[in-house]
Amino acid sequence: MLHRPRATKSSGSHSGSGNAGIPRNWPSGIVYLRAPSYSKKLTNDALKSLIVVKSVLPATEQPRKSAGPYTNVKITKISNSSHPAHGQHGLFASERLLPDSFILPYLGYIHDNSDMDGNSDYDLSLDREVGVGVDSSKMGNEARFINDYRGLSAGPNAEFRETWIDVGNSKVEKRMGVFVLRAGKSGKRAKGIAKGEEILVSYGKGFWNERQLDE
pLDDT digits (tens, 9 = 90+) for 55-67: 999 999 989 999 9
Separation CA 191–CA 197 (nearest Å): 12
Sort 188 into a burial class: Cβ within 10 Å, 0-12 / 13-18 / 19+: exposed
Per DSSP bridges, beta strands 123-127 and 109-112 are unpaired
Q: How far apart, in whole angstroms, are the C-alpha atoms of residue 2 and residue 115?
A: 12
Classified by CATH at the fold level, domain 31-214 comes out as Beta-clip-like (2.170.270)
pLDDT of residue 100: 96
What pLDDT score does 16 carry? 45
Nearest to 26 by CA among 65, 67, 70: 70
pLDDT tens digit sequence for 96-107? 999 999 999 999
- Domain locations in the chain? 31-214
Beta strand spans in 85-203 (E): 89-93, 102-106, 109-112, 123-127, 132-135, 139-140, 147-148, 158-168, 171-180, 200-201
Query: Average pLDDT in the 30-47 region?
Result: 95
What are the backbone angles phi and psi of residue 139, rounded to the nearest 5°?
-155, 145
Confidence bin at 14 (pLDDT 50/70/90): low
Helix/strand/coil for 55: helix
pLDDT score at 117: 87
**pLDDT at 204 (0 to 100):** 79
pLDDT for 20 equals 56
Distance, in Å, from the CA atom of 36 to the CA atom of 14, rounded to the nearest integer, reads: 21
What's the burial of 39, exposed, middle or buried (CB within 10 Å: 0-12/13-18/19+)? middle
**pLDDT grade, residue 207 (50/70/90)?**
very low
